[in-house]
Amino acid sequence: MTDEVNQKEERERLSFENRKLEKRLVRRCAEAITDFNMLQDGDKVMVCVSGGKDSYALLDALVRLQGRAPIDFTILAVCIDQHLPGFPKERLIKHFETLKVPYHIEDQDTFKIVQSKYQDPRNYCSLCSRLRRGILYRLARELKCTKIALGHHLDDVVSTLMLNMFYGGRLKSMPPKLLSDAKEHIIIRPLVYMREKDLTRWSKAMKYDLIPKLCGAHDLCRQEMKEIIARMDRETPGRVENIFRSLMRVAPSHLLDSQCYDFSRLEEERVEAQEDSKN
């Protein structure tokens, strides 16, 4: 009898925690959409779904928001079948049909192209990403989607910032909302306020039928950033969030980029201020 009571209490506790997690997911997604003006009335949103936890969570959050948001928008789940070995697209289709979400599976053998260019799987990611982006842009045009939603989260933003600083010598990260270079497509990242560890917990709670990475590629630099972030979480909780917040509190006058701040005008500003004080 005691075991049954304990099991019931554990189920209730988990159910309560999962409800809290669901509220946080939807709330933070809504906050990001509002803060960065990601969606407008009448938008058709292409939600890019790969079968990983992040894109599943993104689709879930937007489906939940669709019935609550003060604006009207439609969702189209899109997946690219890149002919990766053993890619189980039927599992994705089952997920879309369970959610009752319209979907489109695009058949494009980009994996053969990438393999023909590189022998080492560690070099796959850059070309694969460019090919995938081009396909998504074309699909957005053909399917008349006004927004392209990607599942990048807070950890992705911070790790991209660190990658650019460590290896590119640039202060650059992932924006929550982006206009493509050709000025044709708007990309949004509604999960930008979510931590990856929360998305992992949500994935386990929802028992997603996740599709693992099948290409064999392994981005060592990005893995290094993930390990640094994990260490910061263990040793100095809150530091990752502070790094993220720093991207929203930029002081150009205290950096070194003369394209962002006109240092040559400081003398003129000083003279103008002194003249104003005399008057």
144-203 confidence digits (pLDDT tens):
999 999 999 999 999 999 999 999 999 999 999 999 999 999 999 999 999 999 999 999
Check: CB of residue 114 under 8 Å from CB of residue 130. no
Q: Beta 186-188 vs 147-149: how paired, if at all? A: parallel
Provide the pLDDT for residue 10: 47
**3-state DSSP assignment of residue 264:** helix
Cα separation, 35 vs 186, in Å, equals 16
Provide the pLDDT for residue 276: 85
Q: Which regions of the chain does DSSP assign to beta strands (E)? A: 44-48, 74-81, 103-107, 147-149, 177-179, 186-188
Cα-flanking dihedrals φ and ψ of residue 233, to 5°?
-60, -40
Q: What is the DSSP letter of 253?
A: G
Cβ within 8 Å of residue 211, ≥6 positions away: 50, 51, 52, 87, 88, 91, 92
> Residues 245-250: contacts with CB within 8 Å, 24+ apart?
247/157, 247/161, 247/173
Q: How far apart are the first and last CA of the chain?
A: 86
Rounded to two decimals, what is the model's pTM? 0.88
Cβ count near 56 (within 10 Å): 24
Sheet holding 103-107, edge to edge: 103-107, 74-81, 44-48, 147-149, 186-188, 177-179
Cα separation, 100 vs 98, in Å, equals 5
Cα separation, 52 vs 212, in Å, equals 7
Cα separation, 159 vs 42, in Å, equals 33
Please list, residue by residue across 142-164, b when 16 or more beta carbons sit within 10 angstroms of its beta carbon and e when fewer do: eeebbbbbbbbbbbbbbbbbbbe
Regions of the chain with pLDDT less than 50: 5, 7, 10
Cβ within 8 Å of residue 210, ≥6 positions away: 51, 52, 53, 56, 203
Walk me through the domains of the chain, giving residue ranges and CATH numbers: 2-254 (3.40.50.620)
